[in-house]
Amino acid sequence: MTAIRTEAAPKPARRFTRRRRLRFNDPVVGVWLAAAAVTLLGWIVVAIDGGNLLSRTGVTGILQNSVALGLVAVGQSAVILTGSLDLSVAYLISIGTLVAAETMQDGSVFTAVLAVLGLSAAVGLANGLIVTGLKVNAFIATLGMAFILRGWIEDNYTGPAGKVPDSFQRLGYDRIGPVPVSVFLLAGVAVALWLITKRTRLGHHMYATGGDEHAARLSGVRTKRTVVAAHVLCSLCVGAAALFLAARLGAGAPWAGTEARYDLESIAAVVLGGTALAGGRGGVAGTLGGVLVLSVLDSVFNQLSVDPFFKNVVRGVVIIAAVAIYARPRRTTPRRQPA
């Protein structure tokens, strides 16, 4: 009994520290603070240069540039949380824009949306089944899927195709005040994903599967289904990104996804947002912060007319530095040792 009390006594204090630590060490908070800091610093630097980072067009630009990457990264968060990975997103975006634009050319917007989301779901399903059923490592499985999709694109398209009606293009161009309407699409998708990951059984199972697949399975979680579901969710987000890009581009583009390197960029944004690459920790909120950091940085570089090659150097440094900072507190936390 004594032992129980000894452990029980410091309990309230420990809970208090946990809450407090949430504030300073939680990557979600960290990345949003970082986004704020980058914005502030960027604003100052740009102001010295004689510009205004946060002008109406500036803000619109930052938000607008966050949408496509944000949609993909939110989806990528879902798979990474679950302990998987998706490298096929870039090619899926390209196909998505093509299917959307071609379907809209001949049919209705509604069918096009259904077609894109249906195709995305199918690709996600295939990814998930290859990972869980064939037990191919997600890295290889989705890389293989990327190759398959690439062949399909290259065999069928030789450049932009299809046409998106003006009504649908409004998704890509309209804005309310300084806020582009597409930001609401991103917000909607992000909130949906946030709800799914944090508040539904599927979400709990995703965290569990990513944290410890074996333990999750023993607890009765259908881990395979969970992984498949995460892949489908991810691909649906990618489908949404493709629809947005189709609206923005007015046509389908075979290189829409690959030239922007959405595969690696989305992973970078997710990790920047504090989600552990191994899975089980992190979330959508952090990812959005990560996207915002990248997008603000881009905008600052734009304003300062920084050499695009130099941008890559800075991005690489930022990504490594951010993750190094996340890794730091964990090192100082003493590992619990049953003595």
Whether 286 and 273 have beta carbons less than 8 Å apart is answered as yes
Judged by CB under 8 A, the residue of 105, 121, 150, 192 near another protein is 150
What six digits make up the tokens of 331?
């090192």
> Would you say 106 or 259 has its CB closer to another protein?
259
Nearest to 107 by CA among 149, 168, 185, 159: 168
Whether 81 and 202 have beta carbons less than 8 Å apart is answered as no
d(CA 128, CA 117) in angstroms, rounded, equals: 16
H or E stretch including 176? strand 175-176
Stretch that binds another protein, among 30-38, 106-114, 186-194, 274-282 (CB under 8 A): 274-282
Min dist CB 33 to another protein, Å, is: 20
Judged by CB under 8 A, the residue of 71, 268, 284, 292 near another protein is 268
Q: Cβ contacts of residue 304 below 8 Å, gap of 6+?
A: 45, 46, 49, 51
For the chain, give the number of residues: 339
Query: According to CB under 8 A, which residues from 11 to 50 bind another protein?
Result: 11, 14-15, 18
What six digits make up the tokens of 98?
């093509």
Query: According to CB under 8 A, which residues from 248 to 267 bind another protein?
Result: 248-251, 253-256, 259-260, 264, 267
> Rule CB under 8 A: is residue 145 a binding residue for another protein?
yes
Query: According to CB under 8 A, which residues from 152 to 171 bind another protein?
Result: 152-161, 163, 169
Name 175's bridge partners: 180
Judged by CB under 8 A, the residue of 32, 38, 53, 64 near another protein is 64
Judged by CB under 8 A, the residue of 23, 177, 220, 332 near another protein is 220
Min dist CB 200 to another protein, Å, is: 6
